[in-house]
Copies of this chain bind each other. A is one copy, B any other.
Amino acid sequence: MITLSEENYLKCIYRLWQDKGQKITPTAIAESLGNNPASVVDMIRKLTDKQLINYDKKKGVELTAQGQKDATMIVRRHRLWEVFLLEKLDYHWDEIHDIAEELEHIKDATLADRLDKFLGFPEYDPHGDPIPKANGKMAKRYSTTLADVKTGGQCRVVAVKDTTSQFLQYLQKLGINIGTKIQLIEKISFDNSLVISIDGAEHKTVSQKFGESLLIDM
């Protein structure tokens, strides 16, 4: 049996692996989960014993085939519940992440599949992240961010990389949603701030961090 904490660690490792192709270190995991590195070392031992990860000082932490499978199914449950909360219970997109963080741990052989069917087999969650199918396959995951767009370039928001309510509420205030069209007017070389036009409206300036948190399609 896999515990709730183990699941959260697995999911965290999975996310770090998808995000950056970099080496996954104990410190990175600790930061991401808000835990102490010493606790992470304990858990690395546990997950290694359970053959869900491999750890090598050179290569860092890597998911085993089983670990990847498990992580994918946790992500599947998380994203399906997010769709449920938004579409059926009328939550806003900045409220659903934390609740899904708990719902994802409910284990029942057929629950995810039934929920999937009930929701009409959605491809993406409300933040634009692809929902893994029962077989682990999933739709395309975008990786280009607004910060990668060249000056003058036009793009369309396809997903958010940051799901904190601070970021999502800021997006709401700016009128940005999945599907919104953005044009990059200018990149300020001093601090990489971005001057953008949202849906053709007047120019607004956002930070580099902001740009790196929005996934787009050109």
**Chain A residues within CB distance 8 Å of chain B:** 88-91, 98-99, 102-103, 106, 108, 111, 114-115, 118
Number of copies: 2
User: With the chains together, A183 CA to B113 CA distance in Å?
Assistant: 41
Residues of B within 8 A of A89 (CB): 111, 114-115, 118
Residues of B within 8 A of A102 (CB): 106
Q: Is the interface of A mostly helix, strand, loop or mixed?
A: helix
Residues of B within 8 A of A111 (CB): 89, 99
> A116: shortest Cβ distance to chain B, in Å?
10
> A32: shortest Cβ distance to chain B, in Å?
23
User: With the chains together, A62 CA to B199 CA distance in Å?
Assistant: 61
Contact present for A90 and B106 (CB under 8 Å) = no
User: With the chains together, A10 CA to B98 CA distance in Å?
Assistant: 25
Residues of B within 8 A of A99 (CB): 106, 108, 111
For A118, give its contact among B88, B106, B114 (CB under 8 Å). Answer: B88
